[in-house]
Chain A
Amino acid sequence: MNSELLGIIGIYLLTLVLAIPLGRYLARVFKGEKNALDFLAPVENGLFRLAGIDSKRDMTWQQHMTTLLTINLVWFLLAMVVLCTQGALPLNPDGNPSMTPDLAFNTAISFLVNCNLQHYSGESGLSYLSQMVVITFLQFVSAATGIAAAVVVINALQTRTTEKLGNFYEYFVKSITRLLLPGSLILALILVFNGSPMTLQGKQQLITVQGDSVAVSRGPVAAMVAIKELGTNGGGFFGANSAHPLENPNYLTNAAENIALTIIPIAMVFALGFYLKRRRLSLMIFGVMTVGFMVLLAPTVYYEMHGNPAISHMGIDQSLGALEGKEMRFGVVASAYWSITNTIISCGSVNSMHDSFMPISGMSQLLGMMTNAFYGGCGVGLLNFFAYLIIAVFVAGLMVGRTPEFLGKKIEAREMKIAIIVTLLHPLLILAGTALAAHTYVGNPTEYAGWLANPGYHGFSEMLYEYTSAAANNGSGFEGLGDNTPFWNITTGVILLLSRYLPIIGPVAIAGLLARKKYTPEGAGTLPADTATFGVMVLAVIVIIAALAFFPALALGPLAEHFSLY
């Protein structure tokens, strides 16, 4: 069991070793400096010429955001059409039906916004065409959208005064050609050589050894799973996601997938340092994020290793840990590590069922999504963190009685208002959504009996988890929730939209406003933003804003369950 701890330490260290050079590489790509994949330039230029785009035109932050929203709308319409008609379209060997409009609305939005909340099960809910044209495609472009937006912010933080912040199309296309496509290809190859299928054939009928007849679902799995992890998307090919033995065949693929989903968010933090030549700043950000990660990881690993006390009381040995909802080939330690990395990073794929984790572990998963800035999703993690950073600068400025300044730019009322709206929106959406659902349920428990798989405190946690996951654009679930109903499809769909675009537009707007301001070189009078002291300050702001707002809800759900069990 203790040797399994070494396993996750190994996975984490390997991630760091790969993330630092990747960060340096990304900084070169987005600055337009020479890099290893320059031979792809003709492909990119061909794409621009084909679409009639001038990729050298500098955009203001408003133009960036208009472009982002327009292309997102086009993808949404494409996805809706395919999902609603997939039953009649080709590449559907298992004869799966078209989606209902409310389910298609939820699915299209959820993949568009990089959330990948799934109210269907892949085996029976999607055709292969939908898996490739809707799901895989949106997984590429939504990740690239987040990365491109983060690059706009990084670009804006340079020491100059300008309106011009690069070209959105260039950032977007390069995110795919220089990062997501080559990365996915490597991961997909690891997967197929370890037994993940990549085929267009339908289910295989067979008679098992002891004589049962079963049909085994397959499909073009490996290509989709690779971008699912690398793009921090998280929506699985199969219902059981990465717990499914064809999606994640062994411990090696588990480690590879786990590294893939953590590497871009971490590399983006280092890319910021290399791009702006402010390595100490990125070390500070990385430090705060890592502390937050460890604080959530430790209790989860501890409680999962010690198993379920209610089962121990029956006299059954729990030395292998809490195994309900987990797979033997990963073991509980790697499952616990996976669950925390997937909730702090808005990936949300699962290799074990979060609904069956111990209450404190479930709470750590919830907190990971509630803060949503410890590493965070592709690009957007950095954006969320940036909003907290601005607030911390302001609060610290007030405490020592100096004008709040960040990287030589003054922070004023307008920027503060935006940062506060963005950070408070998150708890508002989650708590209001949960309150609405809990109220509806209590009003008529017999009619909505299908919603909850578990009674009592845990049932409340299931609803809280669903909205937290939607608002954090995470996409994992306490899957006991019967969530394919118009109520859940529509409420979470709306929350998904709000909580994706506002937290992208907000930080980009702040950065755009800051970029226009006059740069004053840092002197003895400025508050340095790259020190450990300031790091503690940021952490305090995150704890106060994100974590404390949720305390009452957590007390009703996981904490109450914990004290009833132990």
Chain B
Amino acid sequence: MLVLCCVVYPAIVWGAAQLSPGKGEGVQLSHKGRVVGFANVGQKFDKPEYFNTRPSAVDYNASGSAGSNKGPSNPEYLKEVQTRAGAFLQQNPTVTRDQVPAELVTASGSGLDPHLSPAGAYMQVDRVARLRGLPAERVRQLVKEHIDEPIIVFFGPATVNVLRLNLALDELAPVRK
């Protein structure tokens, strides 16, 4: 029984994994010949010239994973949300308070969330375009191209993979050093 569950079964799955994208190692993305991350695992983007990812309770350290576990009425937590909203408004002066993306003031469940909602990305377009010297329309177009629509109309929310978006952005207009 032990052999069946712990050797035979994993071996079959491992064998099948060799045929899958990423060969069971996880799907990796490269830029200029260097592996820069896993498509599914979120990474930290907090520099203003990139589209930023969500706050993370583990600071995107992918050798661990956790949520903040803050309760909805925790006063300390609410103060933190307030601060994050203030900082976002300061960095993105064209955005009004009721447009602040909710996901950018709350931490994700895993601390490694690779996605934003389309609105969460659109609200950062003006800032990113200005810092990269690109027309805002062009950057908005880029976001639009990176929206992953639900598989069937109602099966899941639309999302934007931030790593893929930022890689495309670097292709388009590399950061000026």
Q: Does B154 lie within 8 Å of A328, measured CB to CB? A: no
Q: Report if B67 contacts A (CB, 8 A).
A: yes
Q: Does B71 lie within 8 Å of A311, measured CB to CB? A: no
Q: Does B155 lie within 8 Å of A255, measured CB to CB? A: yes
Q: Which residues of B35-64 have CB atoms within 8 Å of chain A's CB atoms?
A: 35-47, 50, 54, 60-64
The CB with the most chain B CB atoms within 10 A, among A141, A212, A244, A325, is that of: A325
Q: Which residues of A451-486 have CB atoms within 8 Å of chain B's CB atoms?
A: 453-458, 461, 478-480
- Given the complex of chains A and B, what is the CA–CA distance between A121 and B115 in angstroms? 23
Q: Which residues of B contact A251 (CB under 8 A)?
A: 150-151, 155-157
Partner of B20, one of A124, A193, A210, A307: A193
Q: Which residues of B contact A173 (CB under 8 A)?
A: 1
> What is the total number of residues of chain B having a CB less than 8 Å from a CB of chain A?
91
Q: Does B43 lie within 8 Å of A314, measured CB to CB? A: no
Secondary structure class of chain B's binding surface, majority of residues: loop
Q: Which residues of B contact A244 (CB under 8 A)?
A: 65, 110, 112
The CB with the most chain B CB atoms within 10 A, among A317, A322, A334, A565, is that of: A317
Q: Shortest Cβ distance from A329 into chain B, in angstroms?
A: 5
- Given the complex of chains A and B, what is the CA–CA distance between A564 and B73 in angstroms? 8
Q: Does A316 lie within 8 Å of B105, measured CB to CB? A: yes
Q: Does A317 lie within 8 Å of B100, measured CB to CB? A: yes
**Least CB separation from B112: chain A residue:** A245
Q: Report if A539 contacts B (CB, 8 A).
A: no
Q: Does A327 lie within 8 Å of B156, measured CB to CB? A: no
Partner of A480, one of B38, B70, B97: B70
- Given the complex of chains A and B, what is the CA–CA distance between A185 and B5 in angstroms? 11
Q: Which residues of A294-311 have CB atoms within 8 Å of chain B's CB atoms?
A: 307-308, 310-311
- Given the complex of chains A and B, what is the CA–CA distance between A242 and B129 in angstroms? 35
Q: Does B63 lie within 8 Å of A252, measured CB to CB? A: no
**Which stretch in A218-226, A267-275, A403-411 binds the other chain?**
A218-226
Q: Contacts A133-B2, A185-B9, A310-B73 known; A7 to B156 CB distance under 8 Å?
A: yes
- Given the complex of chains A and B, what is the CA–CA distance between A480 and B74 in angstroms? 12
Q: Which residues of B contact A250 (CB under 8 A)?
A: 156
Q: Does B113 lie within 8 Å of A328, measured CB to CB? A: yes
Q: Shortest Cβ distance from A375 into chain B, in angstroms?
A: 23
How would residues 100 to 136 of chain A score, 1 for a CB under 8 Å from any chain B CB and 0 otherwise?
Answer: 0000000000000000000001011000000011001
Q: Shortest Cβ distance from B75 into chain A, in angstroms?
A: 8
Q: Does B110 lie within 8 Å of A327, measured CB to CB? A: yes
**Which stretch in B26-34, B130-138, B139-147 binds the other chain?**
B26-34
The CB with the most chain A CB atoms within 10 A, among B60, B97, B105, B113, is that of: B113
Q: Does B156 lie within 8 Å of A329, measured CB to CB? A: yes
Q: Does B157 lie within 8 Å of A4, measured CB to CB? A: yes
Q: Which residues of B contact A307 (CB under 8 A)?
A: 102
Q: Contacts A184-B9, A244-B112, A479-B67 known; A314 to B81 CB distance under 8 Å?
A: yes
Q: Does A198 lie within 8 Å of B113, measured CB to CB? A: no
Q: Shortest Cβ distance from A432 into chain B, in angstroms?
A: 24
Q: Which residues of A contact B163 (CB under 8 A)?
A: 209
Q: Contacts A137-B5, A185-B13 known; A453 to B103 CB distance under 8 Å?
A: no
- Given the complex of chains A and B, what is the CA–CA distance between A251 and B2 in angstroms? 33
Q: Shortest Cβ distance from B21 into chain A, in angstroms?
A: 7
The CB with the most chain B CB atoms within 10 A, among A238, A252, A353, is that of: A353
Q: Does A328 lie within 8 Å of B71, measured CB to CB? A: no
Q: Shortest Cβ distance from B153 into chain A, in angstroms?
A: 7
Q: Report if A367 contacts B (CB, 8 A).
A: no
Q: Does A124 lie within 8 Å of B63, measured CB to CB? A: yes
- Given the complex of chains A and B, what is the CA–CA distance between A459 and B82 in angstroms? 22
Q: Contacts A251-B155, A350-B109, A458-B73 known; A222 to B17 CB distance under 8 Å?
A: yes
**Least CB separation from A248: chain B residue:** B110
Q: Which residues of B contact A207 (CB under 8 A)?
A: 34, 36
**Least CB separation from B25: chain A residue:** A199
- Given the complex of chains A and B, what is the CA–CA distance between A141 and B2 in angstroms? 10
Q: Does B113 lie within 8 Å of A137, measured CB to CB? A: no
Partner of A203, one of B4, B16, B63, B166: B63
**Least CB separation from A200: chain B residue:** B14
The CB with the most chain A CB atoms within 10 A, among B26, B60, B97, B103, is that of: B26
Partner of B72, one of A124, A252, A310: A310
Q: Shortest Cβ distance from A174 into chain B, in angstroms?
A: 12
**Least CB separation from B37: chain A residue:** A208
Q: Does B154 lie within 8 Å of A4, measured CB to CB? A: yes
Q: Shortest Cβ distance from A260 into chain B, in angstroms?
A: 15
Q: Does A325 lie within 8 Å of B155, measured CB to CB? A: no
Q: Report if A217 contacts B (CB, 8 A).
A: yes
**Least CB separation from B46: chain A residue:** A210
- Given the complex of chains A and B, what is the CA–CA distance between A166 and B78 in angstroms? 59
**Which stretch in A17-25, A283-291, A355-363 binds the other chain?**
A355-363
Q: Which residues of A contact B125 (CB under 8 A)?
A: none
**Least CB separation from B157: chain A residue:** A331
Q: Shortest Cβ distance from B148 into chain A, in angstroms?
A: 9
Q: Does A209 lie within 8 Å of B26, measured CB to CB? A: no
Q: Does B63 lie within 8 Å of A123, measured CB to CB? A: yes
Q: Shortest Cβ distance from B35 into chain A, in angstroms?
A: 5
Q: Contacts A315-B98, A317-B98 known; A328 to B108 CB distance under 8 Å?
A: yes
- Given the complex of chains A and B, what is the CA–CA distance between A387 and B38 in angstroms? 49
**Least CB separation from A313: chain B residue:** B78
- Given the complex of chains A and B, what is the CA–CA distance between A243 and B42 in angstroms? 12
Q: Does B63 lie within 8 Å of A3, measured CB to CB? A: no
Q: Contacts A124-B64, A193-B21, A240-B66 known; A457 to B109 CB distance under 8 Å?
A: no
Q: Shortest Cβ distance from B52 into chain A, in angstroms?
A: 10
Q: Contacts A246-B41, A480-B70 known; A195 to B6 CB distance under 8 Å?
A: no
- Given the complex of chains A and B, what is the CA–CA distance between A254 and B159 in angstroms? 15
Task: List 28 interface pairs A-B (beta carbons < 8 Å), by A numbering.
Answer: A6-B154, A123-B64, A137-B5, A177-B4, A181-B5, A192-B17, A199-B14, A204-B25, A204-B28, A208-B37, A210-B166, A216-B26, A216-B63, A243-B67, A311-B81, A316-B100, A327-B113, A329-B159, A330-B156, A353-B67, A353-B109, A356-B67, A454-B77, A458-B72, A461-B71, A561-B73, A565-B72, A565-B73
Known contacts A188-B16, A195-B39; 17 further A-B pairs (Cβ under 8 A): A7-B155, A10-B154, A43-B4, A121-B66, A137-B6, A207-B36, A220-B13, A243-B108, A251-B157, A317-B98, A320-B103, A323-B103, A325-B69, A331-B157, A457-B73, A561-B71, A561-B72
Residues of A within 8 A of B (CB): 3-4, 6-7, 10, 43, 47, 94, 121, 123-124, 132-133, 136-137, 140-141, 173, 176-177, 181, 184-185, 188-189, 192-193, 195, 197-199, 201, 203-204, 206-210, 212, 214-218, 220, 222-223, 226, 238-240, 243-246, 249-252, 254-255, 307-308, 310-311, 314-331, 334-335, 350-353, 355-359, 453-458, 461, 478-480, 561, 564-565
